[in-house]
Amino acid sequence: MAIIMLSFMSENIVFVPDFQSLMLPCLQVIEGENVRSFKDIVQEVAEKLGLSDEQRITNLGKTGSRSTFTNNVNFALSYLFMAGLIEKPQRACFQISGVGQALLEKKSEKITIRFLSENYPSFAERQKKWRKLTERTIDKKNGDASDIISEEPPEVILEKIHSILHSDLAQELLDTIKKNSATFFERLVVRLLEKMGYGNFRPDAGKVIGKSGDKGIDGIINEDKLGLDVVCLQAKKYDDGNSVSSQSVQAFIGALVGKAKKGVFITTSSFTPSAKEEAAKSIDPKIILIDGQRLAQLMIEYNVGVTVKKIYEVKRIDYDYFDENEL
């Protein structure tokens, strides 16, 4: 049984079966004439696989309030239904079909999306349509779209596409920042910290005070109206390969002494290991380092320099809702 998903909880690794490895166990617990509810299937599959309580309740992804295991069972049942291996005789209930029973009699060792595509024409046709739709979106330089589609459910594919677009946007942001002046970059980091809530979202909380080439403080954020609690900023617009050194971090720390107890050092490139060590050692003042990748992610998260083009809601049927005992 393939178990590929993991998380760290209380320093223990928690493994959760992926949805493809659950398709055969789901079909096996539905075998027979009895109609099984979604909840019963989840319970019986967990028992069949000998999963711990932690494995059953762990949530590894964006699956709402459901555990990852329950969500993966939902995916598995959806694919079995699309292939005609199971039926839905009642709300939120499943029963094996003649086609599904015939498959179990063959003693197959596993069921995968690739297996369903190769053996069930209706399922293969659906996958073909999905492949054509998705291949128009996936950037080929990031991988072979067919490999992704053949082994993943649509929701996971959409997340991967979103990740590709997100990564491209982050790189475009950094490239654009580097083409602008150092003064622009200083204004940008002040604006970003304001958008993140430093200064309690007051429009006059932050200001740029540094000059190009300055080794001191480039900007400040007053976290309260009287300016009793101040965050000082240093902005370094460097190209890739030109990392911020420990000497630069030391200079920033020295500039904060007697002025502020908090400092944020932001660069478009990266920090050397010794620079990170220097910042980690500093307790008073406390220093936070933000490299180019983190900068781009924060800009996207807080909508600085980007705009929301379109929002898509991905919905799926909630079998729990259709349980007679839940209404």
pLDDT tens, N- to C-terminus, the chain (327 residues): 444 444 433 445 678 888 999 999 999 999 888 888 998 999 999 999 999 988 888 876 654 567 889 988 988 998 898 899 999 887 778 999 999 999 999 988 889 988 998 898 888 887 776 666 555 555 444 544 444 444 566 677 777 777 878 888 898 899 889 988 988 999 999 999 999 998 887 877 888 886 654 557 889 998 888 878 899 999 999 988 899 999 999 999 999 988 889 999 999 999 999 999 999 999 889 999 999 999 999 999 999 998 887 777 777 777 666 666 554
148 domain residue, yes or no = no
174 domain residue, yes or no = no
Give Cα 257 to chain centroid, integer Å. Answer: 38
Question: What is the identity of the amino acid at 286?
Answer: K
CATH code at position 37: 1.10.10.10
131 domain residue, yes or no = no
Residues 184 and 315: their CA atoms lie apart, in Å, by 41
218 domain residue, yes or no = yes
Residues 118 and 140: their CA atoms lie apart, in Å, by 24
Task: Tell me the Cα Rg of the chain.
Answer: 27
Is the Cβ–Cβ distance between 219 and 232 less than 8 Å? yes
Secondary element (H or E) of residue 249: helix 246-256
Nearest to 153 by CA among 223, 80, 92: 80
Residue 255, Cβ neighbours under 10 Å: how many?
20
CATH code at position 192: 3.40.1350.10
Domain region containing 95: 1-111
Residues 304 and 119: their CA atoms lie apart, in Å, by 49
- Is 8 exposed, middle or buried, given 0-12, 13-18 or 19+ CB atoms closer than 10 A? exposed
Residues 6 or more apart whose Cβ sits within 8 Å of residue 19: 72, 73, 75, 76, 79, 153
Question: How many domains does the chain contain in total?
Answer: 2
